Chain A
Amino acid sequence: MNLDTLIDGIAAACLVAGALLSLAAGVALLRFPDLLSRMHAATKPQVLGLLLALLGGALRLRNTIDITTLVLVGVFQLATAPVAAHMVGRAAYRDQQLRRDLLVTDELATNPPIDDESRNHRPRS
């Protein structure tokens, strides 16, 4: 068993693990009860699955240019997935699209609720 075969085997294992994490994210997306918990599925297992798939690709391609591109995609995904999830979660909270009975704690609850009157006047940032 030479080194190339070993690295190819590790790459195959990474790809399989990434696909299984994607499957976990898909199942969770379908089964979780409300938007905030679905967001959890979309950010954590999905990003880890994508990173494992990229790692598998990098182990398989083994040249500098392709690995640089894959690292760029991975870093970009790690930087943007929290931002996108934060935007979605904030929009969901503002529109009250969440199930209060599932929340353990609501750290934003001390703020006065935004009614439609004040929503029209304040900038929606």
Chain B
Amino acid sequence: MLTVVAVAVTAVLAISAGLALIRLIRGPSVLDRVVAMDVLLAIVLSGIATEAAYSRDGSALPVLVVLSILGFTGSVSVARFATRDGQK
């Protein structure tokens, strides 16, 4: 694979991770932050998959499974217990 493609993909993923991070910091409610966290985690998954594709090395792939399971559990449990930012 061309190194140019890898660098471009990494740059674009970094930009989108930065945008998600801005929403994660600003985002007015807890649920906004949950959504932003979900997107950030999916971007991290894309980055790990890109790294595995670039180096032709599948040893990082179990991390993908663990991360996706953890992300699902985290966002569901936070959404389950989130109320009005604790103002109740």
Residues of A at under 8 Å CB distance from B?
A: 8, 11-12, 15-16, 18-20, 22-23, 25-27, 29-30, 35, 38-39, 41-42, 46-47, 49-50, 53-54, 56-57, 59-61, 63, 65-66, 69-70, 72-73, 76-77, 80-81, 83-84, 87-88, 90-92, 95, 97, 116
Contacts and interface: CB of A to CB of B under 8 A. Distances in A.
Given A57-B49, A84-B79, A88-B79, A19 B68 contact: no
Contacts of B82: 91, 95
Given A8-B1, A69-B64, A56 B12 contact: no
For the complex, would chain A's binding face be called helix, strand, loop or mixed by DSSP majority? helix
A83 B20 contact: no
Nearest to A59: B53
A22 B43 contact: yes
A91 B31 contact: yes
Interface of B: 1-2, 5, 8-9, 12-13, 15-20, 22-23, 29, 31-32, 34-36, 38-39, 42-43, 45-46, 49-50, 52-54, 56, 58, 61-62, 64-65, 68-69, 72, 75-76, 79-80, 82-84, 88
B79 A91 contact: yes
